Structure 1
């Protein structure tokens, strides 16, 4: 039996200077992870507004970790590499559902049915 596909999505905006510098941090941290069973996405919330749906992102960067069953983590992060690595390690190892609004659950559902560009 194979492990479920886990989606890791960083939600940012092209106009956000923090996001601009954070993209390299995000990509480097994700490159350290085993790639089997992971779908990593950088999502510009304006370019992919249809995918984002009704989710209102107020703080950047915002991270989503979800599998087909539920959201494991969703929320803003401080833009430090070690914070990202710690959150990734914790929530990839623990499939406990996070308490999130329905907008995050809907985004996770759309990611599960959406191929990365």
Structure 2
């Protein structure tokens, strides 16, 4: 099973700017087989984002081949990211998420 982890941010966001290295380093700690990690600037990749309205940065999306496991804003701390990643990468239950988030996850699957 393939897992997709995407951090949705904006270039103008100073929190995102400092969080990018934390996100990439923390994701690099995970087993890499079948894992697709993306840093997505919501303005540069507006077509990919579609109708999804991101209001809080950073926002994390975790999905597998069939469902979204987690989608929401995240405190920009490595410990928080580790905890969320471990919990949701091991848990195969889908999160209750809006259709716009499901659509973004489907577009990420196609791009991989």
**1:99, distance to aligned residue in structure 2 (A):** 0.3
| CA distance, structure 2, for counterparts of residue 10 and residue 109 of structure 1 | 15
| CA distance, structure 1, for counterparts of residue 78 and residue 65 of structure 2 | 26
**1:61, distance to aligned residue in structure 2 (A):** 0.2
1:48 aligns with: 45
1:88 aligns with: 85
Q: Does 1:63 align with 2:76?
A: no
Deviations 1:16-52 (A, max 9, x none): 0000000011001001001001000000000000000
Q: Normalising by structure 2, what TM-score? A: 0.99
Aligned length: 112
| CA distance, structure 2, for counterparts of residue 37 and residue 77 of structure 1 | 23
Q: Report runs of 4+ in structure 1 exceeding 4 Å deviation.
A: none
Instruction: Tell me the C-alpha RMSD between the 2 structures.
Output: 0.5
**1:68, distance to aligned residue in structure 2 (A):** 1.6
Q: Which ranges in structure 2 are unaligned for 5 or more consecutive residues?
A: none
